[in-house]
Structures are given as structure tokens and as C-alpha cells.
Amino acid sequence: MAQAATRGRSRRKGLLNIIPGGRCWLCGQSVNRKLPPEHPAAPSADHVRPLSLGGTHTRRNLRLAHAFCNRYRGNAEPVVDDDYRAALRPLLRAEVNAWLLKWAMNGGRG
Ligand SMILES: [Zn+2]
């Protein structure tokens, strides 16, 4: 169990390292790459084509996204186009900003 968790963390870091840029491709806001993985606004690697639909861990299939935005999208929306992002953006931005504000008010904890 512990070994699997360690592998998961290094896989996550490895994927993030091959993704350039500092903005979430879903909500369009900047991503703080220093936030710890458990933070909802932490950086995550979103798969344009979900793994469950045959997507791969390749640079072409990866985009930087907040963990929250990534989870919100989930695997339910295999096609993410400009319309989809434009429709979701206000909601995602509000959520991410609320998490970041809470984080700041707690002095960078929780
Ligand atoms: Zn986002």
C-alpha cells in the first residue's frame, strides 16, 4: 500500500515536469506549482483524452490543471473544447479562488 502511494506521487511529479506553462488549461488561472498535492488548487496533470478512453501519459495528451478543475472535469467529459471551457470557467475560477483564499487565511495550511 505504502509503496503504491509512493509510486503514485513520483508518477505525478514526473508528469508535471514534462508539462510547460503556469496556467490551468480548464479555468485559465495561474497554478502555484509549490502547493502540496493535497491542496485543491495544487498542480495536476490533466489528460486531454482520459486514460479510461485510451489516453496516454504523453506530453501531447497532458495539460496543466488545478487538482480541483481536473477532478471536476473527471472522465465524464472526454471532449474539452473552447465552448466547454468557456461555460465552466466562471464556476471553476470561483471555486479555485475560494480555496486559495482559505489557504492564505490559514497561513498556508489546510
Ligand atoms: Zn483551474
- Single-letter amino acid, residue 46: D
- Cα 79 to ligand 1 centre (Å): 17
Residues in the chain: 110
| Ligand 1 centroid distance, CA of 69 (Å) | 5
Under DSSP, is residue 61 helix (H, G, I), strand (E, B) or coil?
helix
User: Cα 110 from chain centroid?
Assistant: 18
Residue 4 has phi, psi (to 5 degrees) of -65, -40
- Is residue 26 scored above 90 in pLDDT? yes
Q: Ligand 1 mean position to 88 CA, how many Å?
A: 10
What is the tally of structural domains in the chain?
1
Q: Is residue 110 assigned to a domain?
A: no
Tell me how far apart the alpha carbons of residues 20 and 101 are, in angstroms, rounded to a whole number.
Answer: 25
pTM for this prediction: 0.81
Instruction: Give the CATH number of the domain where residue 20 resides.
Output: 1.10.30
pLDDT-based confidence at 75, cuts 50/70/90? low
Query: What's the CA-to-centroid distance between 38 and ligand 1, angstroms?
Result: 15
Q: How many angstroms separate the alpha carbon of residue 54 from the centre of ligand 1?
A: 23
109 vs 84 pLDDT, higher one: 84
Domain that holds residue 42: 2-105
Instruction: Kindly state the average pLDDT of the residues 30-47.
Output: 92
